[in-house]
Structure 1
Amino acid sequence: MYTPINVATGYLEAFTRSDPDEIAGFVAEGFRNEHMSELGSGCCGREEYRRRLPHFMATFTDRKYSVQDIVEMKRQATTEVVVKYQFQATHADTDCRIEIPGTMWFSIADGQILQRTDTWDSLTFLRQIGADPTA
């Protein structure tokens, strides 16, 4: 059975299987991908998002999103799902194992993600790959 929480968690789980088509299949045609972290870059549209996924997957291998907490809120036209996560991966450029905390806010309607707002700790990432700008 479809639930907004199943959509959000299914989307995150799909990253472990490394199939860009499966991941992009969770998002709506007019999907808006917004990043609030300095190192992130957003985009609009399923096709553009799908085009970017192979680069993300090549940069972060053995990736996994671990859900730490999840909250669902009903709105008039959408359901909002907020996921606190831990992202684990190997950063391919440095071969460093990373573990980054973050939060994603999903707007979901009719079984598809309309918008994803992602906030993650980019300073922790830089420190873990040995590129700490404050050192």
Structure 2
Amino acid sequence: MPTDPAAGTAAGTRRAVEAYVAALNSGDPDRIAACVSVDFHNEHTSALGRSLRGRAAYRERLPGFLGEFVDLRYEVEELLVAGDRAALAYTMTFRVRGAELGGPVRIRGVFRLRVVDGLVAHRVDYWDSAEFERQTAADTR
């Protein structure tokens, strides 16, 4: 049974998505993992992304991800919500661990999300891995 009386509604979906983005921006792996369902499906469309299933697998991978993408920040450009679905356009900024030159990397992307019982159950992440490589190649010169 959902703990949020608005679960399954657009308002509940919006709250769950906003909490998830806030958790991502906190850099706290436990807080991030607490925003996803036990059977969470993290799907990447980018050639450099790595998809996975399950909250435990996601939680296990988070410290490495957060350690590699220093000062990770998602700025919400637009959030569209319909029922248990959401589309969130973002600009992600970060520094690559060990990169001494250049400024932060900035990549625009979109999350397509499905929320179940107040938790993110499925995330499809669309971002341009060629843009990542272009910007990070400049940092390694």
For normalisation by structure 2, the TM-score amounts to 0.85
Alpha carbons 1:33, 1:115 under 8 Å: kept: yes
| Greater RCO (Cα-Cα under 8 Å, separation 6 or more) | 2
Q: Is 1:118 aligned with 2:125?
A: yes
Residue 38 of structure 2 aligns with which residue? 29
Moved over 2 A (4+): 93-96
Determine the structure 2 residue equivalent to 1:45.
54
Unaligned segments of structure 2, at least 5 residues: 7-11
The CA distance in 2 between the partners of 1:105 and 1:39, in whole Å, is: 18
SS of alignment partner, residue 95 of structure 2: strand
The answer to whether the 8 A contact 1:13-1:64 is kept is: no
What secondary structure does 2:67 align onto?
helix
**Higher fraction of strand:** 1
Counterpart in 2 of 1:109?
116
CA distance in 2, matches of 1:108, 1:15: 16
How many aligned positions are there? 127
Q: Please point out which of 107, 115, 127 is paired with 1:100.
A: 107
2: CA distance between counterparts of 1:16 and 1:72?
20
The match for 2:88 is 83
Structure 1 distance, partners of 2:15, 2:95, is 26
- Give the alignment's TM-score, normalised by structure 1: 0.89
Unaligned runs of 5+ in 1: none
